[in-house]
Every structure is written in structure tokens, then in C-alpha cells.
Structure 1
Amino acid sequence: MAPIKLIYFDIPGKAEAIRLCASVGKVDFEDVRISRETFAEMKEQGALPYGQVPALDVGDGRMLAQSSAILRYVATLGGLHPSDPIEAARIDSIVAEEEDFFSGLTISRYAGRFGYGHMTDEFRAEVRKNLNDEILPKHLSFLEMLLTNSTTGWLAGTEKPSAADFVFVPRLKWLVSGANDGIDSDLLDGFPNVKALIAKMMALPEVVSWYEKNPPPQ
């Protein structure tokens, strides 16, 4: 059976959670990294559901879309998504929180995509300040509480990392990487459990091996 193919750009972005999940779950997959030109061609040809990536080619002409759905599918293949419906829903709720967490930042970054093409630089700076000072710390406190109540160090209290951990760790690293104007690089310093989560994920042997073979683009 041919491996599934994960299609995305040569950046971490929305695909990194899926890449890490597949690596930890030992799911055989092909990491297909496309150019913007190839993306435009695939979009024009109607090859991508909703005209976006990441997308997952599972064979037989079937293509999955939406990063959270792909992540859940890959986690299931790797034995990292529980069969118990309540446990699964708990993980899904944390994955959904990631969308709430980053929605303001995403809109301010890609304003035109969401109908805010008229957003001025001055207003964007105000939005970023509010995000940095109030909104993001509020959401970080939610994660900190989840981890305080976890006996395993993972967000959903699972024995192994779940989709919730895979979706948040790369995004949190990106959040404070300096890629987002107006967001403090030390924003996580007041949330020790969140920082411990990142360290725990990055220390997993499969994750270490993944980044040794696939260093992030500079």
C-alpha cells in the first residue's frame, strides 16, 4: 500500500502538527512540499478541496482537507486518538480552542482573506497590542490550567501526546518566534506548564529524529 501524501508548502504552518503526529505515531507518509506556483496550478485544476492546503492524498482519488480533520485522521492511524467518545471529544475541544486562540492573529495577518483588506497598519498595530496584552494571555491561561490539572504533562491528560498537543506546540513556538509584529518573544514566560509542554514534545525521540532529518527552513 502506497503511503499517504501530505501536501503543503515548505514551511511548518498548518501542516507541522500533522507531520509530528505522523512521526510519533509511526504513520508512513510522504511529505510533499510544493511551491506557490504548483499550489496555484492545483487550485486552478480543482485538485484541492476548498482550494487550500494542507491536503492529504489517501489514494484512490480521495483527498482530505482541513488541517484539524487530517490531524485527527492521522492520529487515529497512529493509535494516538482514543476510541472512547468522551476522551476523543475532550481532545477535539482542545484542538478547536487552537482556532479561537489564533483567530485574531490570523485575521490581522491575512486581513484581505477575511474581508478586512482596508485594515490600516495603525489599526493592525492596535489589534496586535490588544492580542499581546489581553487576548493571548487569556487563552494561555486556559492551557496552563489544563496542564496544571493533567497528571501526564499532556494537554488532555493522555498517556501519549494527542492531537491537542501536536496542534498547539508548533503554533506556540511560531507565536513567539519573532514572526509576528507586536507579539512579545517572552509572552510564554508567565506560563511555566505551557513551556514545559513544548519542551516535552520537542524531547520526544521521534520529534528529535524528525527535525534532524527535516530541519525547519531558515
Structure 2
Amino acid sequence: MPKVSVTYFNVKGLGEGIRMLLAYGGQEFEDVRVDKEQWPDLKPKTPFGQLPLLEIDGKQYAQCIAICRYLGRKYGLAGTTLEEDLLIDQNMDFFNDIRMKAVAANYEPDEKVKAAKLEDLKKNHFPFLFSKLDEIIKENNGFLAAGRLTWADFMFAGVYDALKMFTHIPDLDEKYPSFSKLRDTVRSLPKVKEFCESAPKTDF
């Protein structure tokens, strides 16, 4: 079995989907969690100056969606046709677009501008985007695409708690129960559940 490690910060975020996919696939891996003091020294040693980072037998790989897609193919969680792969990618990209809108607003340094951006998102954008995402999940038997479990669900489940924080919508679970249900479906898979119960407890 190859020597595998995942390097990310001590949060779920963009690293959690990778961790859960490896657990699902039965791959033993070193779960390396970086703190703020370590990051400046590590950053220039990564392929693109960012995390998460997957390392397999000493070779580094970056970009969380690309890594999750690779692991999905490896563990039978990809599409069975090119068109099914296209739909998985399409819905994952749509979800990631939503996430990035929330993240961009949160990292606005001017507090007044930040508040205005978040208010605009909550009033004029999130209602449509989240309704469409809810519709997609319901149409796919509770999953993000293909009507069954795919690698995209692991990515979704990994970042969902962070998404809730970034959107500043405290009742997101109540408005769209399909979201938290999908997260919980992934986290309740036997090997994934075992990993989650033994991993450090973080809020997002």
C-alpha cells in the first residue's frame, strides 16, 4: 500500500472531502494538520502556495477538487459514462461557485463593504442559488449528481459546515434540510464515520 498523507489546516474545510474519501477507500494516511505558525514556512514548499495537499509516496498533488475527482475514480465513485462525469463536474462546479461567492464576501477587508456584500448575497443571490441546489439534490435521490453517491458528495459534505459559517444564514439547515441530510449521509458511511469520530473536533 502506498504511503499517503493529507496536509491541511486543523479544520474540515477543503481538506475534509479528501480525508473522508481516503477513509472510504480503506487507505491508511497521515492526517497532517498545520497551524498558523507553521504555514509561512510550508507555503513555498507546496505546488501552488496553498492547501490541501495530497502526498503519495513522496509526490505532491494539489487542488482539492482535482484530488477528490481522482480519488472518486480510484474508489468507484465517478461517473459510469463521460456524460455522467460531465453532470458530476457541472453540479460540483455550481456548488463551488456558491461557496466562492460566500468566501469572497467574507474576506472583504472593509467591514462596511463586507456587510453590504453579504446582505446583497442573502437578498438577491442565495435564495435562487440555494433553491436550485436543493432542487438538484432532491432530483438526484439525495445526492449531488448521478442519483447516487459520488466523489462530489464527499466534497460537499466536507465544506458544508464552513459554507454555513460563510453565508451567515443560521437557519440554512431548516430552510434546506436536503443539505445537512447529504452531509450526514456521507459522514455516516461506516469507514467515514470511524474516521470522523477519531478525528480532531472542529466547528467547520
TM-score, normalising length from structure 2?
0.87
Aligned to 2:143: 154
- Match 1:93 to one of 90, 94, 105: 90
Which digits, 9 at most, give the CA deviation of each residue in 1:63-83, with x for residues without a partner? 111111111112222221234
Aligned to 1:14: 14
SS in 1 for 2:37: helix
- The one-letter code of the counterpart of 1:123 is V
Q: CA 1:57/1:13 → structure 2, altered by over 3 Å: closer, same or farther?
A: same
| Residue 121 of structure 2 is aligned to residue 121 of structure 1 | no
* Structure 2 unaligned blocks of 5 or more: none
- Match 2:55 to one of 44, 54, 57: 57
Contact residue 25 and residue 75 of structure 1 kept, 8 A:
no
- The one-letter code of the counterpart of 1:143 is L
Task: Give the root-mean-square deviation of aligned CA atoms.
Answer: 2.1
* Structure 1 unaligned blocks of 5 or more: 112-118
- Match 2:79 to one of 63, 77, 82: 82
* Larger RCO (CA under 8 A, 6+ residues apart): 2
- The one-letter code of the counterpart of 1:170 is G
Q: CA 1:217/1:200 → structure 2, altered by over 3 Å: closer, same or farther?
A: closer
TM-score, normalising length from structure 1?
0.82
Looking at structure 1, the residues matched to 65 and 190 of structure 2 have their Cα atoms a distance apart, in angstroms, of 24
Contact residue 15 and residue 158 of structure 2 kept, 8 A:
no
Identity %: 28
- Match 1:202 to one of 163, 182, 187: 187
Contact residue 84 and residue 146 of structure 2 kept, 8 A:
no
Looking at structure 1, the residues matched to 29 and 147 of structure 2 have their Cα atoms a distance apart, in angstroms, of 24
Aligned to 2:42: 42
Count the aligned residue pairs.
203
Looking at structure 2, the residues matched to 144 and 93 of structure 1 have their Cα atoms a distance apart, in angstroms, of 15
SS in 1 for 2:91: helix
SS in 2 for 1:128: helix
Looking at structure 2, the residues matched to 43 and 198 of structure 1 have their Cα atoms a distance apart, in angstroms, of 30
